[in-house]
Structure 1
């Protein structure tokens, strides 16, 4: 039997419940929604979580579609899902936890006696660190972004090859292989011996069905590729970037892009132009390096110095 909070599943069953992590300001207890799918046969454990950033909802869409499709009679091992991690931010559709103004994916491994975010991180990490694989579902907030998987442990980490293989098995087509900031789940878990990746499923206001479908496919690729389910994961070569160039606007105005997401760009090629309200050209920004047009702001209006787009660089195929 596997128990997570109030969810208890014996072999061949599914259960849902709540993982209590504290109290709200009126003293009421609150808990994170959890699901446990315990396979009829022994096997590894996959931990999946979504919405550690409260406005990144594509992962919730993935969870909503994956869990009902999991048949424990066909499963070897266990799948544990925390459907909404950043409880408080999700309630108000904000990125950061409004209780302590913290970005949840900088709080791992957490502190059971700490702030609101640290307590949530500690409770979820206690579950994640006991798994064999970790998928931390994200998206590019409300920016426009390609579907990708991020390997955050760093290329010199002892588990790097295992994390990279997990990213390849998920199979978004694009991988960012760059050491992440302190406190990211996908960086912390490998230090405890658990391969972990951070799928960034596009970017949307609300959620995007195309990116959600890619995420559902990715989870099932992992389930098949690591023998939770019978079948072929269909692993294909991935395009990998090892770093980003980020571009801001030198002037205020309206952005006009010269590339679509996923386009190859070459050094000195125009990425975007900035015009005045009447179409007059104010600035033309070119690429510093060869790469892939990876991410861009959603709204066209920019102020001086405001972020506009990112280009993935040091690109290869593996």
Structure 2
């Protein structure tokens, strides 16, 4: 798809090349019953000063994940352009319709934005937003921070997320940025090889890429938000856009894990699931993970769920109600770096 289409159909109220601080929107056309020439006004901010890299920071890809948007909003308000060397481009609520609805997916088209990249400038609203970011904003960037949490359906150990790099050099840069964030663990996640995520698309454009998972459960975690606030500043200092004095000391390098092909435990029954372990528990493949109970049929024995991989319990479904296909548990296994 021609990148110029995104630039013609969507317009920004900020000048990405202008020094100083600007807060505005990029407008995605939305022609609906009660507004023939309306738009979705996606918030965007730019802070530019001096010479240095361009870092793109994204939050709100899923509308029920809050630590990232809160952190980015604070940075937009608090940062003095004089402290910036380079350019920061903030998209704190990229999936604005989902953010306003507190939903993982957009209420306009029911699409998961993080399975929509590189987008389609002639597609539905979610795909148009993804296309504008991919076609217009990503080419400006040297690094990309994508801030997630588990949302309403998952609770996840707060962690930095490493996007696998296309080259050894890019992968090493991604790992270094994740270590700078300052979490106890960092996890290599390729989303089962799915190329439609924001981080995968950013990596394809050659950027250094780091993501996060900051707790979840559809709430704001006090601890995870504090970690996110420190971690984003740490990464920006690591990349040279903010001064070192704005970073916080990191006690130790994170333990590295990844999500292998057997990381996920999927429900095959409709019922209420009972987890048996807390997040961070060391578990073994084949070990009993939980049970699915059938409350409307008390004579039926619960169905047992077993871990498929060994490692630590990294993520756990938040709602007790499950149906076939729901992810109940996620196990992160110790990471082994690929051989050169």
TM range (shorter): 0.7 to 0.9
Partner of 1:220: 233
Partner of 1:297: 317
| 1:286–1:115 Cα change, 3 Å | closer
- Quick check: which one's helix share is greater? 2
Partner of 1:240: 256
- Quick check: which one's strand share is greater? 1
Q: 2:196 aligns with which of 183, 187, 212?
A: 183
1:230 matched to 2:243? The reply is: yes
Partner of 2:331: 311
> Residues of 1 paired with 2:216 and 2:115: CA distance?
20
Q: 2:274 aligns with which of 247, 256, 260?
A: 256
Q: Structure 2 unaligned runs (5+)? A: 1-10
* Residue 127 of structure 1, CA deviation: 1.1
* Residue 281 of structure 1, CA deviation: 6.9
1:53–1:95: 8 Å Cα contact kept in structure 2? Answer: yes
* Residue 146 of structure 1, CA deviation: 1.0
Secondary structure at the counterpart of residue 46 of structure 1: strand
Q: Structure 1 unaligned runs (5+)? A: none
Q: How does 1:87-166 map to 2 (within 5 A)?
A: 87-125=96-134, 126-142=136-152, 143-153=154-164, 159-166=170-177
| 1:271–1:38 Cα change, 3 Å | same
* Residue 195 of structure 1, CA deviation: 1.3
> Residues of 2 paired with 1:94 and 1:268: CA distance?
34
Partner of 2:8: none
> Residues of 2 paired with 1:303 and 1:101: CA distance?
19
User: What TM-score, normalized by structure 1, do the two folds share?
Assistant: 0.86
| 1:147–1:98 Cα change, 3 Å | same
Superposed CA deviations along residues 261-318 of structure 1, whole A, max 9, x for unmatched, are 122223444322445658x97344443332011111112344566432111124469x
* Residue 168 of structure 1, CA deviation: 1.8
| 1:286–1:81 Cα change, 3 Å | same
Superposed CA deviations along residues 223-270 of structure 1, whole A, max 9, x for unmatched, are 211222222553431222222421234655543333211222234443
Alignment RMSD, CA only? 2.8
Q: How does 1:60-75 map to 2 (within 5 A)?
A: 60-75=69-84
Secondary structure at the counterpart of residue 65 of structure 2: coil
Superposed CA deviations along residues 106-164 of structure 1, whole A, max 9, x for unmatched, are 22222323332222112122212211110111111211111123223357666222222
User: What TM-score, normalized by structure 2, do the two folds share?
Assistant: 0.81
| 1:108–1:248 Cα change, 3 Å | closer
Partner of 1:15: 22
1:170 matched to 2:177? The reply is: no
